[in-house]
Chain A
Amino acid sequence: MEAHAAAAHAHDDHGHGEHPPAAHVSSRVDARVLGMLLFIGSEIMLFGSFFTAYFFVRVVNGYPWPPEGFHLPVFVAGVNTVILVTSSFTMHWALQSIKRGNRAGLKAGLVLTFLMGLTFLLTQILEYARVGFTPASNAFGTIFFSLTGLHGAHVFVGLSLLLFATIRSFRGHYSPEHHHGVELPGIYWHFVDVMWIVVYATIYIL
């Protein structure tokens, strides 16, 4: 049998211009997937604990819900929901624009998204001032402010990310090939949007 050391021909083996990752890389879970799964897991636990507290208070409190004397501004929160949902569309538009090389669309999309997010947050703060109860009023007040406040904190983080992305877009950053700085805030913003739909439906509608 004629066999020889293939190691000497290693260069021949890498033909056809294909360069797969080294095996020790493909053996591992993709860092981005793992990071996102850990993030989602931590967020589910965080919001899950607040929702658990909310339903516990609600079940213990019994009928009527909200308790007597407490009224939630369902209409204002509904308008706020529409604003936040719309901001997801403008965020998507911004990213699609830069993917097509449309810088004006990117800037307009990011500015609109940021403004709508800011409007949502300011409206929520106004709502807090006018709602007629405080976190110290009773368990309902505590869990209402905790859940909506937790989401508001996420909106604040999202707005910070959007602000950086917006400033960078006006400084000429991003291109159809390189737009990771818009993609990641976009993912986060959509997550915040989805969470609000769940929070709104649970607290204001159910």
Chain B
Amino acid sequence: MARRNPFRSEAEAFRLVLLTIAAFAAIAAATLLGGWAVGLAVAVVVTALGLWWYLRPLEEASEQQASTHASGEGERRILVIANETVAGEELREAIERAASGYQSRVLVVIPALNTKLRHWVSDEDGAREAAQGRLADSLAGLASAGIDARGEVGDADPVQSIADALRTFGADEVIISTHPEGRSNWLVKGVVDTARERFAVPITHVVVDLERESAA
């Protein structure tokens, strides 16, 4: 989630100077007029306002991102976003359904999921390696089902990885695969809803119940 950075640019830093001057002028004026208690109250209020201003999430652009590619007749590009569920039977069937009757291209993107700490220190090698392993298994599984697909490891944020892939792949349809509700972090975070709001591409949500598959 993007937030304001008061030192992102000289102009932002200069704005911080102006805000600081205004804040301290207000505190000084309040102290002179009403005493130290009023000054303290104003200080608390302006500090809270300042923190709110800088910490609140910036509004994302409301315009939907469209696919960069217009497929020809009989051609279909399918973008698949999945993580642990990438080997699921339901997902494989969904890809087959989407690709059926078309000369199709399938791109499987596996987000390199990482811990927050490792993300912030840019230690993503392990996450990418794990994602690469899942991707290789997935592509082998799809190939055995007769689906020729290529794949890549994407951004840790699944919505961002869709945005990245749409710029280069230009999908006609996006398939997002998740665990069932209650076991899916992506559903808790509203990944599917966010993707539907953000991208002007049909989004298909596939629920893969790996526990049921392994029990069967």
Contacts and interface: CB of A to CB of B under 8 A. Distances in A.
A2 B102 contact: yes
Given A18-B167, A197-B24, A201-B24, A7 B10 contact: no
A4 B105 contact: yes
Contact of A13 (B99, B147, B170): B170
A30 B103 CA distance: 39
Given A13-B168, A36-B8, A3 B69 contact: no
Nearest to B102: A2
A23 to B, nearest CB: 5
Nearest to B39: A206
B209 interface: no
Q: Most chain-B CB neighbours within 10 Å: which of A6, A23, A24, A27?
A: A27
B148 A4 contact: yes
B21 interface: yes
Nearest to A28: B122
Contacts of B13: 186-187, 190-191
B16 interface: yes
Interface stretch (B83-91, B149-157, B182-190, B194-202): B149-157
Given A190-B16, A201-B24, A20 B164 contact: yes
B9 A183 contact: yes
B152 A6 contact: no
B102 A27 contact: no
A33 B4 CA distance: 11
Contacts of A14: 168
A172 interface: no
Interface in A176-206: 182-183, 186-187, 190-191, 193-194, 197-198, 201, 205
Interface of B: 5, 7-11, 13-14, 16-17, 20-21, 24, 27-28, 68-69, 77, 96, 99-107, 112, 114, 119-120, 122, 124, 128, 146-150, 152-156, 160-161, 164, 167-170
12 contacts: A4-B103, A5-B148, A6-B105, A6-B106, A6-B148, A13-B69, A16-B68, A23-B161, A24-B128, A34-B120, A190-B13, A205-B28
